[in-house]
Amino acid sequence: MMGLLIEEILIYGIVAIICLIVVWIYLRKNKSSSSLTQQKVNIAKAEGRFEPVSLYPHIDLNTCIGSGACIKACPEQDILGIVDDKATAINASACIGHGACFHACPVEAITLRIGTATRGVDLPHVKPTYETNVSGIYIAGELGGMGLIKNSIEQGKQAVENIAKSTKKKIEGIPDLVIIGAGPAGIGGALTAKKNGLDVVVLDQDSLGGTVSNFPRTKIVMTRPVDLPLYGKVKFNETSKSELLKVWNEALSNNEIKIEEHVKVDKITPLVDNSLKVISNDGREWQTNHVLLAIGRRGSPRKLGIPGEESEKVAYKLLEPERISGKKIMVVGGGDSAVESAMLLMEENEVTLSYRKEKFARIKPKNQERINEAIEKGYVKPLFNSNLISIEPDKIQLQVNAENGEAVSIENDLVYIFIGGELPTKFLENAGVTITKRFGQIMKKH
């Protein structure tokens, strides 16, 4: 009897010890992953990636139970993590606002917001019809604050349905509508215009697809099924950039809608007869009754304004660097984009980096470390205190060192320019559209 009791105590004792060990291992693992995440948060703060730039998940710490469902749901890397059993943002600036985290949270602790208490985001005033305070100017897509492919297409469609009902008197010989921007919002708008028999012109400073056309080739694009007017239901949930672009191209060309690519609109002016004048940077003009601004929030790349810059060998973004080899390349700029692009190209090409200042401007510590090493090993040739003067088919001219220094000529095949961008705020203000800074406005809650 006594023996049995001792045996039972022993078994319970062993079980209790095993349980304690399991709990201890769990707590230790939790603690170390929590401190690893905290380290990532600290690095993100130091590198300016902690603050969101557009839509982002705001976590209510009183409600959060640290389930980790949001982290599992987020298809992007290291945007969310867990510290001390609560969810936290890490690289919030890389959040693309899907809201997958928002839908996954089991206790509804997440709201999608724009702007933070310390960093306001400029948003234009838009009525429920998508018209702004300026008669005839409408806004759809990410520019209005709510991005993502499906939302932008839907907003473009709805805005143009409202334009089609507009009571403005038709003016013979001018288009009913000029759409600026051929991303998802512009595409939705253009197809809806055609469906409603509107005479439409579509302009883009770049090419069809908007931000999507800049996605890496291998990126998995998350979206939801959407009805494209005059085309039908597109049933994608997960797809690729090339699939999406193929569908959009097909939908537009089947309906004979041509995008006027590489036309940057600089100005919109209201005219006395209540119509609008759209002016592009190369001086072309379109008079119209309505404008749909579908220009997103990413702005336009800043240009050098030098002879030869319009040449086809000049680019302001680097797509598919793995396909470029054996070229003499000039990268212009001293920020992270310039440095990262130079490093992506350096193994297969001869890369020179021209920057107008004497050292790189506030680049991420990791980039600084890597570019220093690349320069030391001779993979990238830096030209500080230098300015490009002109771009010619097989060479470029630049001024190095002294302000009045003599121009030098360098053999060249390709030029990549990364000298920042102009945000659309000024453009909107010039057109008379009212803008307000939003500090943490809730865009989506349960």
Q: Which is nearer to ligand FAD, 219 or 366 (CB)?
A: 219
Provide, rounded to whole angstroms, the least separation between the CB of residue 300 and ligand FAD: 5
- Give which of 172, 166, 143, 179 is closest to 427, Cα–Cα: 143
Q: Is 221 in the site for ligand FAD (CB under 6 A)?
A: yes
Binding segment toward ligand FAD, per CB under 6 A, in 12-20, 105-113, 136-144, 251-259: 136-144
Establish if 298 lies at the interface with ligand FAD (CB under 6 A). Answer: yes
For residue 225, the minimal CB distance to ligand SF4 (Å) is 18
The nearest distance, CB 364 to ligand SF4, in angstroms, is 20
Eight-state DSSP code of residue 405:
P
Site string for ligand SF4, 66-105 (x = CB under 6 A): -------xx-x--xx--------------xxxxxxx----
Q: Confirm or reject binding of residue 339 to ligand FAD (CB under 6 A).
A: no
When CB distances are held under 5 to 8 angstroms depending on the partner's kind, the choice from ligand FAD, ligand SF4, none that residue 80 binds is ligand SF4
Hey, which residues does 81 pair with through a beta bridge? 88
Q: Which residues contact 73 (CB under 8 A, 6 or more apart)?
A: 100, 101, 103, 104
CA 353, distance to chain mean position in Å, is 25
Taking the complex as a whole, the smallest distance from the CB of residue 188 to ligand SF4 amounts, in Å, to 21
Q: Residue 94: is it exposed, middle or buried by C-beta count within 10 angstroms (0-12/13-18/19+)?
A: middle
Q: Provide, rounded to whole angstroms, the least separation between the CB of residue 100 and ligand SF4.
A: 4
> CB of 190 within 8 A of CB of 200?
yes
Candidates 41, 95, 180, 291; binder of ligand FAD (CB under 6 A) is 180
Task: Residue 185: name its binding partner from ligand FAD, ligand SF4, none (Cβ under 5 to 8 Å by kind).
Answer: ligand FAD
Token reading at 23: 């709990």
Is residue 404 within 8 A of residue 390, CB to CB? The reply is no
Interactions with ligand SF4, residue window 96-155 (CB under 6 A):
96-101
Options 177-185, 243-251, 357-365, 375-383: segment touching ligand FAD (CB under 6 A): 177-185
Task: Scan residues 1-60 and list those touching ligand SF4 (CB under 6 A).
Answer: 57
Residues with Cβ within 8 Å of residue 14, at least 6 apart in sequence: none
**38-46: long-range contacts at Cβ-Cβ below 8 A with a sequence spacing of 24 or more?**
38/83, 40/78, 40/81, 40/90, 40/91, 41/81, 41/83, 41/88, 41/89, 41/90, 44/90, 44/91, 44/92, 46/365
Q: Provide the residue count of the chain.
A: 446
* Upper half-sphere CA count for residue 309 (Cβ side, 13 Å): 12
By CB under 6 A, residue 221 contacts ligand SF4: no
Q: Does 204 bind ligand FAD (CB under 6 A)?
A: yes
Answer yes or no whether residue 428 interacts with ligand SF4 by CB under 6 A. Answer: no
Tokens coding 231: 């085309």
Q: Which residue has the tokens 């604050």?
A: 145
212 interacts with, out of ligand FAD, ligand SF4, none, CB within 5 to 8 A per kind: ligand FAD
Is 147 a binding residue for ligand FAD by CB under 6 A? The answer is: yes
Q: From the CB of 434, what's the least distance to ligand FAD, in Å?
A: 19
Q: What are the backbone angles phi and psi of residue 179, rounded to the nearest 5°?
A: -100, 125
Q: Is residue 182 near ligand FAD by the rule CB under 6 A?
A: yes
Binding to ligand SF4 (CB under 6 A): which residues in 355-394?
none
The radius of gyration computed from the CA coordinates of the chain, to the nearest angstrom, equals 27
- Per CB under 6 A, the segment of 37-45, 164-172, 293-301, 326-334 that binds ligand FAD is 293-301
Q: How far is CA 204 from CA 37, 180, 181, 189, in A?
A: 41, 6, 5, 14
| Strand runs labelled E in 21-153 | 55-59, 80-83, 86-89, 110-114, 121-124, 137-139
Q: How far is the CB of 79 from ligand FAD (least distance, A)?
A: 11
The binding site for ligand FAD (CB under 6 A) comprises 96, 141-143, 147-149, 152, 180-186, 203-206, 210-212, 215, 221-223, 264-265, 294-296, 298, 300
The binding site for ligand SF4 (CB under 6 A) comprises 57, 73-74, 76, 79-80, 95-101
